[in-house]
Amino acid sequence: MTTVVLLAGSPGERSRSTTLLQRAGALLASYGVVTQTFGLTDFPSDDLIYARWDSPAIRRFTETLAAADGLVVATPVYKAAYSGALKAVLDLLPERALEQKAALALATGGSPGHLLAVDYALQPVLSALKARHIVGGVYATDRDFNPQDDGSYQVTEEIDSRLHHAVGRLIAHLPNPGSVQLHPEELSRQVAAARISI
Amino acid sequence: MSKKLNVVAVTGSLQRPSRTLALTEAILAQLAERIAVDIKLIELGEIGPSLAGALRRDQLPVSVAEDIRAIETADLLVVATPVYRASYTGLFKHLFDFVHHEALTNVPVLLAATGGSDRHALVIDHQLRPLFSFFQALTLPIGVYGAERDFSDYRVHDAALEARIALAVERALPLLSHRDAAVSAAVAA
């Protein structure tokens, strides 16, 4: 079974970055990847401040991640970097937590000017956690989201297409693509050629 | 300068004793030797418990809100963080996530960090400096990085590190001044 952990780094309930994460999760699931989602509210703040590695919440996260093949992390860009609250969660991971795993970073910001926060701020942290592959991420701005009547967001076709590509890259680099229903290379080819919609 | 310089130091360590705190105090002592300063020291380990639970500024207790206000009105910031995962700590970033994005314009910031070895020294220029560049702060050219072996009994104990601190302060001096009243006014507006 191929599993990927999804980590939402936004403190907001109505979050654009979490929307990207959920969409990536749905795409992964459609290819037979099992996903498990964690958000900031899954971690008691005392566990974060006192670095309680062995608290039930932190252990559940680290053990789930240890057993997974990959990680998708999503963050809003605050002050040209990832959110501090997300980093507080990543700080509690063991030193080589992403060894032998593939990782994908998703981020949202107010303007296109902060795209490089993914490459220069977040990805170096994933690299420090020894991720085996960090595949090209997706950055979206406010205008890429259409608010829906129910309070949720819908992403534009362009962003959806980029998420398709990113998920294809992630699947192609998972160390154990066993349960993926489409061969990664075939998936990447299809995505590149036809921008398939699912 | 006739009036004392309003210096606010933020130290990112969560435990005591702490090398990061020791480094911060050594920098502050060097500053106090050279110019008249009023110093406020904010320790993440102290404010952490009330900071970590807040996701919006209105959820912060009054004391932490006052600390943030102090950061936003400082003449000089001295910031120091231990290196976690090749960057500043999450809680350090979480504190600055609450700071108004225009409150540090042109404010000099002395960057400092501590790590287990010299291998993470670039954290200053690759993680801390971009964060304060975002704020349009005046990040001072010389940052100070201390590795574990530069300390003894949680005090700075290395001639090269002491010299680096002295140099950082020396080079900072011509750039220090009292905060332009216009900056504070712009933030308050």
Task: Enumerate the H helices of A52-108 as residue ranges.
Answer: 56-67, 84-90
Cβ-contact B111, B77 below 8 angstroms: no
Q: What is the DSSP letter of B87?
A: B
CA distance B24 to chain A (A): 20
What is the per-residue pLDDT for A51? 81
Tens digit of pLDDT for each residue in B13-66? Answer: 888 899 999 999 999 999 999 999 999 999 999 999 889 888 888 999 999 999
Residue of A nearest to B52 (CA): A45
pLDDT for B54-103, tens place per residue? 888 899 999 999 999 999 999 999 999 999 999 999 999 999 999 999 99
From chain B, pick out residues whose CB is under 8 angstroms from the CB of A79: 93, 96-97, 99, 101, 131, 134-135
pLDDT of residue A13: 77
Residue type, A185: E
Kindly provide the residue ranges of all beta strands, DSSP E only, lying in chain A, ordered along the sequence.
3-8, 34-39, 70-76, 102-109, 133-141, 145-147, 153-155
Contact call for B85 and A129, based on CB within 8 A: yes
Inter-CA distances, A108 with A23, A119, A140, B51, B126, Å? 14, 13, 5, 24, 21
pTM > 0.95:
no
For a pLDDT cut of 90, what percent of chain B falls above it?
A: 86
The dihedral formed by the CA atoms of A91, A95, A99 and A101, expressed in degrees to the nearest 10:
-20
Return d(Cα A103, Cα A135) in angstroms, integer: 6
Q: Is the pLDDT of residue A197 over 60?
A: no
Task: Take residue B3 and report the two structure tokens written for it.
Answer: 């009036």
- Collect all residues with Cβ–Cβ distance below 8 Å to A64 and sequence separation of at least 6: A5, A36, A38
Report chain B residues whose CB lies below 8 A from the CB of A82.
Answer: 93
In B, residues 5-24, which contact A (CB 8 Å cutoff)?
A: 14
To the nearest whole Å, the CA of A107 is away from the closest chain B CA by 16
**CATH architecture assignment, domain A3-197:** 3-Layer(aba) Sandwich (3.40)
Count of residues in chain A: 198
Strands B76-82 and B37-43: unpaired
Helix and strand numbers, DSSP H then E, in chain A: 8, 7
Q: What is the mean pLDDT of chain A?
A: 91
- Tell me the CA distances in angstroms from A124 to A117, A165, A198, one per residue in order: 10, 21, 32
Rounded to two decimals, the ipTM of the complex is 0.85
Q: Tell me the average pLDDT of chain B.
A: 93
The partner residue sitting opposite A91, judged by closest CB among B51, B84, B135, is: B84
Helix ranges restricted to H, B35-176: 44-52, 62-72, 90-97, 123, 129-134, 159-172
CB A2 within 8 A of CB A32: yes
Nearest to A79 among B52, B55, B96 (CB): B96
**Residue ranges of domains in chain A:** 3-197
Angle at A11 between CA A153 and CA B66, to 5 degrees: 135
Report the pLDDT value the prediction gives residue A115, as an integer from 0 to 100: 93
